[in-house]
Amino acid sequence: MQFIHEALTVFVTVFATLFPVINPLGGAPVFLNLTHGCSDEVRKKIARNVSMNCFVMLIGAMVFGPQLLLFFGISLPVLKIAGGLVVAVMGWNILNQGSTKSSDDVADTSGINDSTAISSTFYPLTLPLTVGPGSLATVIALVVNNKKTAGIEIESEVSAIVGALLGICAITISIYIAYRQATGIKRLLGANGTNVLMRLFAFILLAIGIQIIWGGINELIFDVMKTLPAK
């Protein structure tokens, strides 16, 4: 039961944190606008390829990101505080931004059509439209927050790994569904509905960022207390 509880907790945290950052609902109308010159069949294929690219990038950030930072001698508490700041700032920015993603946020790709779709799948449709530096930094922050040691101890972190993988899979599926059904989502939610949903998730994102920062501060205080001489 404890394994399921820990995995479910990580799953919910990963999904709730990444969803407003990646914002597949807000990106769907932009995706539709950028691929307006493609046929429906090609657009669905692009949606599948973009979601697969996002999965690979997020998994890569999850596996290699924290180890790369630890390689430079940065301690886990410091990484948690820095990562928490990134997450909290992103949540705050989303809460206060004027609207969802617009076509001005990405490069000019008005020429995307059936013949150029494959070459445009990664840039700009995957990066930076769907997954960008902020998303990758958020993944690293989440992994660091759930690491128990500086090394790689798979046995002690299986539940966190399973939960994180399921969370990334859920995000990937949401990207695929949102982009595949971009026309229907744009008509169903509209700009106002999408913004309300994003504000709700952004507040959760802000709270998670502060929680990560607090966890890092607690660990720093504990490390300092251990170095103090006993009376």
CA distance 47 to 57: 15
Q: Which amino acid is at 56?
A: V
CA distance 11 to 8: 5
Q: Determine the average pLDDT of the residues in 9-13.
A: 93
The per-residue pLDDT for 175 is 97
Q: Which of 27-41, 116-130, 190-204 has the lowest mean pLDDT?
A: 190-204
| Number of C-beta neighbours around residue 162 at 10 A | 17
For 113, the 3-state DSSP assignment is strand
For 153, the 3-state DSSP assignment is coil
Task: Give the total number of structural domains in the chain.
Answer: 1
Average pLDDT, the chain: 84
* pTM, entire model: 0.78
Look at residue 103 and tell me whether its pLDDT is greater than 60: no
Q: Which of 27-41, 100-114, 171-185 has the lowest mean pLDDT?
A: 100-114
Q: Measured on CA atoms in the order 138, 143, 149, 151, is the torsion positive or negative?
A: negative
Q: Who contacts 64 (Cβ-Cβ below 8 Å, separation ≥6)?
A: none
- Structure-model confidence comparison of residues 201 and 51, the more confident one: 51
Q: Residue 81's domain spans which residues?
A: 2-227
Q: Which of 10-24, 29-43, 74-88, 93-107 has the lowest mean pLDDT?
A: 93-107
- Structure-model confidence comparison of residues 68 and 153, the more confident one: 68
